[in-house]
Amino acid sequence: MGNSSRAAFHSRRRQEDAMRATATAGSNIAIVKYWGARDLALNLPANGSISLTLDAARTTTTVDFAPAYEADALVLNGREMGGTALARVSAHLDRLRALAGVNLRARVETANTFPEGSGIASSASGFAALTVAAAAALGLRLSERELSRLARLGSGSACRSIIGGWAEWLAGTCDEDSYAVQVAPPEHWDVRDLVAVVSAEPKAVPSAKGHERAASSPLFEARLRQVEEALPAVRRAILERDFHALGVLAEADALSMHAIMLTSAPPLLYWLPATVELIRQVWQWRLEGLPCYFTIDAGPNVHVLTLPQAVAHVAERLRALPFVRQVIPCGPGPAPRVIPSGA
Q: Where are the domains of the chain?
A: 3-188, 192-330
CATH number of 3-188: 3.30.230.10
The HSE-up count of residue 131 (CA atoms within 13 Å, CB side) is: 33
pLDDT tens digits for range 44-92 = 999 999 999 999 999 999 999 999 999 999 999 999 999 999 999 999 9
Sheet holding 302-306, edge to edge: 292-295, 302-306, 192-197, 326-330
Residue 19, φ and ψ in degrees, nearest 5: -135, 130
Residue 331 has pLDDT above 80, yes or no: yes
- Residue whose C-alpha is closest to residue 121's, from 150, 158, 86, 151: 158
Phi and psi of 328, rounded to 5°? -110, 105
Mean pLDDT of 184-199: 97
Predicted confidence at residue 192, as pLDDT, reads 99
Looking at the whole model, is its pTM more than 0.85?
yes
DSSP structure string for 126-175: HHHHHHHHHHHHTT----HHHHHHHHHHH-TTHHHHTSSSEEEE---SSG
Whether the CA torsion 114, 119, 124, 130 is positive or negative: it is: positive
- What is the pLDDT averaged over residues 138-164? 98
Residues 278-287 pLDDT 10s:
999 999 999 9
Taking only the tens place, the pLDDT of each residue in 30-44 is 999 999 999 999 999
* pLDDT (mean) for 297-319: 97
Would the CATH topology of 3-188 be identical to that of 192-330? Answer: no
Per cent of the chain over pLDDT 70 is: 92
Q: What share of the chain is helix, strand, coil (3-state, %, to 5)?
A: 40, 25, 35
Q: What is the structure's pLDDT at 119?
A: 56
pLDDT in tens, 220-246: 999 999 999 999 999 999 999 999 999
Condensed to tens digits (0 to 9), the pLDDT of residues 126-149 reads 999 999 999 999 999 999 999 999
Model confidence at 117, pLDDT cuts 50, 70, 90, reads low
Q: Where are the alpha helices (DSSP H) in the chain?
A: 3-11, 83-100, 122-137, 144-154, 158-161, 207-214, 220-240, 243-262, 273-287, 311-320
C-alpha to C-alpha distance for 52 and 35, rounded to whole angstroms = 17
Nearest to 54 by CA among 32, 34, 24, 78: 24
Q: Is the pLDDT of residue 165 over 50?
A: yes
pLDDT at residue 6 in the model: 44
Residues in the chain: 343
Handedness of CA 121, 115, 238, 150 (dihedral sign): negative
Residues paired with 45 in a beta bridge: 37
Res. 188: pLDDT tops 70? yes
Least confident among 110-124, 143-157, 292-306 = 110-124
| Beta bridge partners of residue 52, listed in sequence order | 29, 166
Note the CATH number of domain 192-330.
3.30.70.890
Which residues on neighbouring strands pair with residue 231, listed in sequence order? none
State residue 118's pLDDT score: 54
- Highest mean pLDDT among 108-122, 131-145, 195-209 belongs to 131-145
Cα–Cα nearest to 265, from 214, 223, 203: 214
